[in-house]
Structure formats: C-alpha cells, structure tokens
Structure 1
Amino acid sequence: MNLTTKKVATDNIEPSDPTDKVIIRKYCCKDREALRTICADTGFLGKPIDPVFEDRELFADFLTRYYTDMEPESAFVCERNGKVVGYLIGCCKPRLKFWYHLLYDPLLFFKAFYRYFFKPYNAATKKYIQWVLTRGWRETPPAPKDCPHFHINLLESVKSPNTTRRLIDSFLAYLVSKGHRKVYGQIVVFGDRRKPALFRRFGFEVINSMEVTKYKEHYPSKIFLFTVVKDLEKRPLLYSK
C-alpha cells in the first residue's frame, strides 16, 4: 500500500446513520474552551478532575495546550446538536512537541509553585502536584520515538463503540493521508476496561505498561497506563483487516 498517495477526505465526516445527531469534524479555534472543559470534566477516570486536582486551568494547559495551539490541524471533535461533546487531539510533530514542552513547561511549573504556596491549593491538589514532581515521570511507560500519537476523551453521554470508532478512524485516515506508517497511544486501564485482547482486536500491540498511583487515594483498584502501537500499513483503520 502506498501511504503517501492514498487520498482520504477528513475535513467533515458525516454520520453513517442519518438519524444520528453526532458528527465528527476537524477541530477549529472556536472549539478550544469546550475542549479544555471536557478535558477537566473527564480527567479523573472519565469523571471531573476536581476532587483530585482543583486547578482546571493548569490541568487543561498541560494536557491540551500544545495540541490546540501548536498543532490544531491534527485534532478532531465530536459534536452533537451543535455542542462539542468529545475530542481526539493528535501529534504528528513529536520533535516540535518536545521543544514546546521544554520551553513552556517551566512557566506551568512556576504557576503551580506560586499557587501551591500562595493560593493556596487544598490537600488533595498538593498531593497531586507532589506525585507529578516525584513519581509522574517514573510512572509513564516508554513510547516510540518520532511517532505520531493521540489522546481521546468523550463525555459519558456520547460514549459508544460507534462514536469512538468514527472519531479514531477520522484521525487514522488523516495519518494515512499524510504518509505516516505507525501511531501510538497511552491508554489508562482500570477494572475490567480495555484488556490487552481488546487492543489486539483493533490492531494495536501493547508494548509496555506501568502502574499509576496518582489516584490511589481516590480509586480502590490498581490503575495502569498502557502504551499501544498500531501499524497503519497492515491495518489503516480501527476495524480493518
């Protein structure tokens, strides 16, 4: 398969079912605040991040700002009745992202440092920051270098296999149209959700995983972060063979 010449339309992907009010489309600047709100509303295992980390602004800055401000062309949103209810943010320029965080993250650090002592943050938020500084980097599994990646979040009201497939397939088709051959994601796994067999069903290979302890006081069971990789030459879409 010639990945560099395959033509895929990704600007507006209409629902296959005309009665389905959910559409998948490319991200635009007017979606920024809605995307940031969803990030905070789903930040704690699909629920609002507030009980764990109260600073929604800083949380959204760290997790979404690069994607919305530096690489918006690689982002997609899920919209229902004119309202953004989910998103997929992707990175096809990992070196740019590296330099962005190298330059921008110190500013986030100083904001967090100031608010830690002078706002001040509550006890749960302080513990979360302590985890980020002392354990976060150690509990993040390795990822492939110079490889595109993505993050996906949907509000509970629109979560479904069909919506998730359409959103991910839109990004995968975009990658193929740009000539990319692989993509990875780092997926939170807890309880009975997202077992390795499920990833394999969709053409993803689990290459490593690590236990994440940042929610230990808020969730009774173990939580893991899996790094999964998909070969787009073999399976360019989620359900393709």
Structure 2
Amino acid sequence: MDDPSSLINLTANKEINLEEKKYKEPIIRKFCPQDREAVRKICADTGFLGKPIDPIFEDRELFADFLTRYYTDMEPESAFVCEIDGEVVGYIIGCCKPKVKFWYDLWVSPYLLFKVMFRYFFKPYKPSTKKYIHWLLFFGRKQTPPAPKNCPHFHINLLPKAKSPTTTRKLIDSFLSYLLSRGYSQVYGQIVVFGERRKPALFHRFGFQVLNSIEVTKYKEYYHSKVFLYTVIKDLKKTPLLYSK
C-alpha cells in the first residue's frame, strides 16, 4: 500500500510544477537585431488600444515603420525588450538623440508617405484603412500634443499576456537607469489614455508631471468613450525610478 504522505508530497509537487508553468519570470535585456521583427509584430498587435491594429489599419508593415523603424534601426542601443520563456513579449524603445530623429524623420517620412499614397490608390486598401490614412493626413499632427524639445522620450508596449505591474516596472526602470547612466536628467512620454486607465493621479504617483493632453478621434467609430493622448515628463533627479518616493 502506498504511503499517504508520499502521495500528498507528489500531489503538492505537481501543483508547484503547474504554477511554475503558469508563471515565468520575465527577463529584461537590451534589444538586439534579432528582436526587430518581434518588436514590429508587438507594435501592430497592440496598436489599437492594446489590441491588433488590423481592423483600423490593415498595413502592418507601414504601421510598424512609422512607429518603430527609427528606434530599431537608428538607435537600437536605447531599446530594451521583455522576454518570457524565450519569447519577446514587450519592449521599450527610446530616443536620446532628438536632433538625429528630426533629420531622420525629415528624410524618411516623405518616402513612407509615398508608399502610403501609392498603396492607397493601387493596393487597394479597405475603407477602414483609407479612413485611417485620411485622419493621419488631416488630423494626425493637429491631434498630437506639443512635446519638450531636446529631451529623451520613450514608447512602451506589452502583449496582454505579459502585462503586470512588476513587468512594466522592470521594463521602464531599465530604460530610466540607462538614461541616468548617460547623464540625462529628464524624460518624457506620450501616453494614450482611455476609459479608467492611466488617470493623471497615476502619472503623479510614478513621478511624472502632466504637461498637456488632447483628444484623439481616430478610434471614434470603434471605441465608445473618448481617447486622449497625454504628454508626461519625469525629473530623474527627483525620482530616478518608477516607484521612487
């Protein structure tokens, strides 16, 4: 007859193993060239308020070009990724060279715009994609709030399965520590705010000051509540990490 205590231990070990399979400790590391496609895919998979961008804008290639290409191709040293069980599930991409980005955008944006317009007429795009392009051309700049000049900034995205306060903190803190090591004293981000998420009080809790905000209308047909784009800035001398007091 089996020893009851052995059966209990065996059951407990199985439960522990199951828990280990459910949760894998996230690894935050520097971006490398092999991560480029994963970053672009995550960008498109989270582009519509944390969900895939496809219903609004079907051209995932161009969407990722506009939002990630500078950071992965021109300033990869300022990017970090979050990896769980060997899979890249999130990233934070940053810019510490605003002047370089300005000239890059001046050079590359017309080329990307040409590709957009060529595909607009000859691909052809779906009506939803054409509406997005119309918004981009006529309202995109108007609905982007002013940002500080000559100041580092960042973009962060995580897949839904990877989102947690701990993972987000580790990812942001890695970038903030990187900025401090290079002697920067400020950083800003432009954060999408909708529903009950990311209220101004939360930004203040993390040491960010809200500079401005503006309503963004590109999701109006797909999301019932108002969506805003906030510009927030952090003084790294006062609060060098996310949860610093």
TM-score by length of 2: 0.90
Runs of 4+ in 1 over 3 A off after TM superposition: none
Query: Partner of 2:10 in structure 1?
Result: none
Residue 160 of structure 2: which of 136, 156, 163 is its match? Answer: 156
Query: Partner of 1:221 in structure 2?
Result: 225
Between the two proteins, the alignment pairs up a number of residues equal to 223
Larger Rg: 2
Question: SS where residue 222 of structure 2 aligns?
Answer: coil
Question: SS where residue 136 of structure 1 aligns?
Answer: coil
Query: Partners of 2:25 and 2:213 in 1: how far apart?
Result: 36
Query: Partner of 2:207 in structure 1?
Result: 203
Query: Partners of 1:202 and 1:220 in 2: how far apart?
Result: 28
1:1-241 matches, within 5 Å, as: 20-241=24-245
Is the contact between residue 40 and residue 68 of structure 2 (CA under 8 Å) also seen in structure 1?
yes
Question: SS where residue 83 of structure 2 aligns?
Answer: strand
Query: Partners of 1:103 and 1:122 in 2: how far apart?
Result: 28
Ranked by relative contact order (alpha carbons within 8 Å, sequence separation 6 or more), the top structure is 1
Once the two structures are TM-superposed, the CA of residue 20 in structure 1 deviates from its matched residue by: 4.1
Query: Partners of 2:162 and 2:119 in 1: how far apart?
Result: 35
Query: More helix per residue: 1 or 2?
Result: 2
Question: SS where residue 121 of structure 1 aligns?
Answer: coil
- Amino acid in structure 2 at the alignment position of 1:54: E
Query: Partners of 1:77 and 1:182 in 2: how far apart?
Result: 21
Question: SS where residue 92 of structure 2 aligns?
Answer: strand
Post-superposition Cα deviations, 1:30-86, rounded to whole Å, max 9, x if no partner, equal 000010000000000000000000000000000000000000000000001111000
Query: Partners of 1:94 and 1:47 in 2: how far apart?
Result: 29
Query: Partner of 2:7 in structure 1?
Result: none
TM-score by length of 1: 0.92
- Amino acid in structure 1 at the alignment position of 2:57: F
Structure 1: give runs of 5+ residues left out of the alignment: 1-18
Once the two structures are TM-superposed, the CA of residue 240 in structure 1 deviates from its matched residue by: 1.1
Post-superposition Cα deviations, 1:156-186, rounded to whole Å, max 9, x if no partner, equal 0010000000000000000000000000000
Query: Partners of 2:60 and 2:85 in 1: how far apart?
Result: 26
Structure 2: give runs of 5+ residues left out of the alignment: 1-22
Identity percentage of aligned residues: 74
Question: SS where residue 139 of structure 2 aligns?
Answer: helix
